[in-house]
Amino acid sequence: MGNLGGKTLLMSGGSRGIGLAIAVRAARDGANVVLIAKTDTPDPRLEGTIHTSAAAIEAAGGKVLAVVGDVRDDETIASAVVQAVATFGGIDIVVNNASVISLDGTLKVSPKRYDLMQDVNVRGTFMLSKAALPFLLEAENPHILSLCPPLNLSQKWLGMNPAYTLAKYGMTLTALGFAAEFAAQGVASNALWPRTTIATAAVANILGGDEMIRRSRTAAIMADAAHAILTTNSRELTGQAIIDEELLRARGMEDFSGYAVDPSVELMIDLYVDQ
């Protein structure tokens, strides 16, 4: 695989979990990372802030610009793009990591939660990418990577939690739409999703606590898969909804035991992924 040294990543979220893992993996190559995240002060329910993430990125060998703000806010997005270009000279990669989850059924989901998922997951992905695209079009190997699932239209997934599914599938359609629209210009746009649950705060707090964490993989597998995508020629890999394990297997990896939180238990397959 190639190297992200000197590349500039613009990422939504990234205070913790998968986003932070992707940022730290890029930083190990010497990448520049621009984070847009809301968590400015510690939250007892969630580990990490934008400042602890910035410290971790710098410790890994990268340069970082922390922008405290909300990806729903157009002024925050515009400011982050301006600061990224002024500080690092351009933007090579956008990682749409910020996401909101609610697994409530249709009769239980609140209008506020529904709107929040649409605003962060779909609108945030679209508007952050849109703002960065003029600079991606000038980059040597431009990529947009959105953390969203394959468009699995089975009745099982369509009926499980439609409000969340609409928001995540909206992200995926946005990613695939960018790929089609900018194919001729060489801007890659892909979706990335884990085959198994990942040991994050969302999994612990929403999907099943410590037992679910035991049956998950660490965020390192998503970071390695993201790195593999982002170091690939943008004209050779675009318009795909990629599963982390499938990509890494295709690149020659055979042993995935090192990613397991607890190798002694059966892994939990993630939402929207069939057995």
Task: Read off the pLDDT of each residue in 49-61 and give the average, rounded to a whole number.
Answer: 96
Can you list the domains of the chain with their CATH numbers? 8-198+218-259 (3.40.50.720)
Percent of the residues in the chain that have a pLDDT greater than 90, as a whole number: 89
Residue 123's pLDDT is 98
Catalytic residue among 164, 169, 259, 272: 164
CA–CA separation, 172 and 87 (whole Å)? 30
Mean pLDDT of 173-182: 98
Across the range 119-127, mean pLDDT stands at 98
pLDDT at 235: 97
Position 11 pLDDT exceeds 90: yes
Cα–Cα distance for residue pair 188/95, rounded to 1 Å: 12
| pLDDT band (50, 70, 90) for residue 202 | confident
Concerning whether 169 is annotated as a catalytic residue, the answer is no
Question: HSE on the CB side for 59, CA within 13 Å?
Answer: 8
Look at residue 45 in the predicted model and tell me its pLDDT: 67
**Tell me, what DSSP letter sits at residue 118?**
I
Output the pLDDT for position 166. Answer: 98
Give the amino acid at 109: V
Instruction: Report yes or no: 132 and 178 within 8 Å, Cβ to Cβ.
Output: no
Residue 1 has pLDDT above 60, yes or no: no
User: What global pTM score does this model have?
Assistant: 0.96
Contact 21, 220 (CB under 8 A): yes
Mean pLDDT along residues 106-122? 98
DSSP H helices, 162-255, are 162-181, 201-202, 209-214, 220-230, 244-250
What does the pLDDT average to over 193-198? 97
pLDDT tens track for 217-263: 999 999 999 999 999 999 999 999 999 999 999 999 999 999 999 99
- pLDDT tens column, 26-52: 999 999 999 999 888 777 667 789 999
